[in-house]
Amino acid sequence: MRDAYIVTSIRTPGCKRNKGAFKDTRPEDLLSFILTEGVEKTKNMEKKDVEDIMIGCSFPEAEQGLNIGRIASQIAGFPVDVTGATVNRFCASGLEAIAQAALRVMAGWSDIVIGGGLESMTYVPMGGNLPRPHPEYTQKLADLYASMGITAENVAHRYNVSRESQDEFAYQSQMKAAEAKSKNLYKEIVPTPAARYVEQEDGTYKKETFLQDFDDGIREGTTLEGLANLNPVFAAGGTVTAGNASQMTDGAAATVIMSEDEVKALGLKPIAKFKSYTTVGCKPDEMGIGPKLAIPKLMKLAAMDLKDVGLFEINEAFASQALYCINELGIDKQNVNIHGGAIALGHPLGCTGAKLCATLLNNMQERGVKYGVESMCIGGGMGAAALFELCE
């Protein structure tokens, strides 16, 4: 198989659901913008050179429904013969889209493909607008439909992850993110046009556009005392709170992937190779343990040892599950989510896998790390993990 080279990987800021900078920005606009930026930031490449676009989205309905991968690319001005698809693997949708884009290149089916992700949790709420679980199987397989918060409580309870350790983990996520923001370390972020409606003197509203260039969910003033005072939100006497769980967020991300021939033809210096990807299933009621299972499987596929990996992005869906996976795998916390994770930066569901790819590659470049791994748990009981190799 051919190598798949990543030449550009970028994201919008992540902004708080309903209260953040993107609350009035339609998801099609977020995605069409970041797709255009992906092309414009890739030297010598034009939209007509892209063959296919794979977009992850966890709840592809309403404003981000139909086939958002096709619709947004047409809004963005890609030629009509550039195709698009929408991919759904819940929390790993964005990474799945990148993996499928890379596979097209590796198999020789395409030479230039964009993989990305999108989620507006403002426009389409968690669970979708009209969830309709199967009436008989909700009795037989109730855990498939369980609240993700309950699965986080299950992990904390079954594997003895204390409230104190969860709050400490959450605090560190916020502090790392606050420092990275203050030092302008999120080089993967592209300032993104956002809409807002401003009331006029006559009582009407005028649509205005402004540029948003930072993640607006970071809580720089977080303290351990403040976290300790928060009540559990999913179970009486539980340990999972709004402070040690990921934020619901709006955002989009895009990664441009090419064959070696195209990299050379365009005179580009690639960032990294997409080396390997895997998924694994686990019990739905403890879906958070997914990375603990997926990362070793990835290492076996790649014939590598975990100690060869220099940086990790492990999605912080909840502190309980992320902390459990990190501890069980024996990973040095200093190499995980070095600029904070979803507790501070948000988890825009179908976008997260693509967002973390951009973040991981930026961090690998920043530190000169050869191998990086991205992993996350997935609603319904799965884990996913991908391996990236920095190019010289």
Q: Provide the annotated active-site residues.
A: 91, 347, 377
Phi first, then psi: give them for residue 238, nearest 5 degrees: -80, -175
CA–CA dist 280, 286 (Å, integer): 13
Phi first, then psi: give them for residue 256, nearest 5 degrees: -95, 125
Nearest to 278 by CA among 361, 386, 376, 350: 386
Q: Do 116 and 30 form a contact (C-beta atoms < 8 A)? A: no
Sole residue written with tokens 């986080």: 152
CA–CA dist 349, 91 (Å, integer): 5
CB atoms within 10 A of CB 182: 10
- 379 is written with which tokens? 């609603």
Sort 72 into a burial class: Cβ within 10 Å, 0-12 / 13-18 / 19+. buried
Sort 94 into a burial class: Cβ within 10 Å, 0-12 / 13-18 / 19+. buried
CA–CA dist 67, 211 (Å, integer): 27
